[in-house]
Amino acid sequence: MNDVPSRQAALRESAAALQPELVALRRALHQEPEIGLELPLTQAKVLAALEGLPLEITLGEKLSSVTAVLRGALPGPVVLLRGDMDALPVQETSGLPYASTVPGVMHACGHDLHTAGLVGAARLLCERREGLAGSVVFMFQPGEEGAGGARIMVHEGVLDAGGSRPVAAYALHVAASVLPNGWVATRPGPIMAAADVLTVTMRGRGGHGSTPHLALDPVPAACEAVTALQTMVTRRFDAFDPVVVTVGSFHAGTTDNVIPDDAVFAATVRSFSPEARDRVLAEAPRLVRGIGEAHGLTVDAVVTEGYPVTVNDPAETAYATAAAGQLLGAERSIDMPRPVAGSEDFALIGAQVPSAYLLLGACPPDRDPLTAPYNHSPEAAFDDAVLGDAAALLAELALGRLTGRTAEQLSG
């Protein structure tokens, strides 16, 4: 029996009917953006939108998250759907009628669409509770933009909210450019980079610039270390599993004829596989320490871990790609050739639950996806006409997964 096409047609129809409500919610969120872990106005809007649905709701303690659990009428496994809700410290210049009313704060990464899309998925799945075999956890997450909201939600139990570990987790991210409107793109394996920070202090002994032999000059050694990091990148790492090390800040000294006591520099370190990340975070500090110590300096080389690599589970990604193609049209579901160099804390969910993270094109129809301002730009704009599809796709991913259909079954 194959009831997938009729289920999907009904989902598309219900989602289209929800569209005006989701657009209104998204624009209300867009007008009152909030940053970081505490998003009280956003949380209140989400709770109001979920009001009356058969959901078990838990609020975060250390952040204003909303975890909503839908228990299907039939027993079965747990699936998690995630939407992030935070904005960025950006002054909006989009000129849209519903632009941010908060100075210096903007939903420049489209998380307002993620929030509204996840509310839509909750509504669609609640309507289908009678046929649902298992539970769905809706993870409304603050603090994706660097604040580590996912880590706190995992700590506060989001992965156990459904009663057992989710068998799968899915997230959608809208793109203001690059992808054509309405297209869904993903790839198995690494999809978003890890972003970590290396901070180095080399300490010597200051003195007169005319007599360096009486001092211990940290500047040449620090310069040597900066160059050596680039040599390390090309000599120690596979060209097809690359790392990027950019020393973006370098400070030493005050004037030309004084040797300073120390030199300080900091680098962003990007990697695209957990293996390369582990290795670069071990080798880079070792290298700069070795160089400084060879010159008689003392060296502090500190790694501050950011988000790890977001890795898509191959089976879940094949399933999600097939589901998106069936629901929205095969021509709209594509494989990405490469990961994206940005980072994402859905990585922390993907590290514990087989996951698929998908991008959804939301470039407004009056812009060219090849030239439109990208996410995080003050001019970025996202077409909320994609909200119905976003909600339907998230709902379909959960529905299909809870009926145990694999990618082969879907395409067969």
Among 106, 109, 124, 269, binds Zn ion (CB under 5 A): 109
Which residue out of 34, 86, 196, 313 is catalytically annotated? 86
Q: In angstroms, rounded to a whole number, what is the distance separating the alpha carbons of residues 353 and 156?
A: 16
**Counting contacts by CB under 5 A, is residue 87 touching Zn ion?**
no
Interaction of residue 175 with Zn ion, rule CB under 5 A: no
Q: Are 380 and 374 in contact (CB under 8 A)?
A: yes
- Smallest distance, Zn ion to C-beta of residue 114, A: 8
The rounded distance, in Å, linking the Cα atoms of 140 and 154 is 12
Of all residues in this chain, which one has the CB nearest to Zn ion in the complex?
109
* Span of 24-32, 106-114, 122-130, 381-389 interacting with Zn ion by CB under 5 A: 106-114
Distance CA(274)–CA(146), nearest Å, equals 19
Which of 32, 84, 92, 144 is an active site residue? 144
* Token digits of residue 121: 């998925």
Q: Could you tell me where the DSSP H helices lie in 156-299?
A: 218-236, 274-294
- Is residue 237 a contact partner of residue 279, using CB atoms and an 8 Å limit? yes
The SS3 of residue 148 is coil
69 vs 109 by CB, closer to Zn ion: 109
The type of residue at 336 is M
Supply the minimum distance, in Å, between the C-beta of residue 136 and Zn ion. Answer: 22
3-state secondary structure of 181: coil
Using rule CB under 5 A, residue 347 touches Zn ion = no
* Best CA proximity match to 23, nearest among 388, 393, 394, 396: 388
Q: Which residues contact 30 (CB under 8 A, 6 or more apart)?
A: 96, 98, 99, 100, 107, 112
Shortest distance, position 88 Cβ to Zn ion, whole Å: 8
Q: Which two tokens stand for residue 256?
A: 């030309």
Of the pair 109, 267, the CB lying nearest Zn ion is at: 109
How many residues belong to the site for Zn ion (CB under 5 A)?
1
> Could you tell me which stretch among 103-111, 147-155, 280-288, 332-340 binds Zn ion (CB under 5 A)?
103-111
What is the nearest approach in angstroms of Zn ion to the Cβ of residue 172?
11
Residue among 292 and 369 whose Cβ is closer to Zn ion: 369
Region of 105-113, 134-142, 157-165, 199-207 interacting with Zn ion (CB under 5 A):
105-113
Q: How far is the CB of 303 from Zn ion (least distance, A)?
A: 24
Distance CA 301, CA 265 (A): 10
- 108 binds Zn ion per the rule CB under 5 A: no
Looking at the Cβ atoms of 36 and 325, the one nearer to Zn ion is: 36
Stretch that binds Zn ion, among 21-29, 109-117, 157-165, 176-184 (CB under 5 A): 109-117
Residue span binding Zn ion (CB under 5 A) among the ranges 16-24, 107-115, 127-135, 277-285: 107-115
C-beta closer to Zn ion: residue 85 or 391: 85
Report the DSSP beta bridge partners of residue 243: 271
The least CB distance from residue 291 to Zn ion, in Å, is 37
Per-position x/- string for 283-322, each x denoting binding to Zn ion as judged by CB under 5 A, each - no binding: ----------------------------------------
Q: How far is CA 69 from CA 57, 121, 286, in A?
A: 6, 12, 46
Catalytic residue list contains 256: no
Determine, following the binding rule CB under 5 A, whether residue 363 of this chain makes contact with Zn ion: no
Q: Name the token pair of 205.
A: 């002994």
Active site residue 86: yes
Judge residue 355's burial from the number of C-beta atoms within 10 Å of its C-beta, 0-12 exposed, 13-18 middle, 19 or more buried.
buried
Integer Cα distance of 149 and 151 in angstroms: 5
Catalytic residues: 86, 144
Q: Which residues bind Zn ion (CB under 5 A)?
A: 109
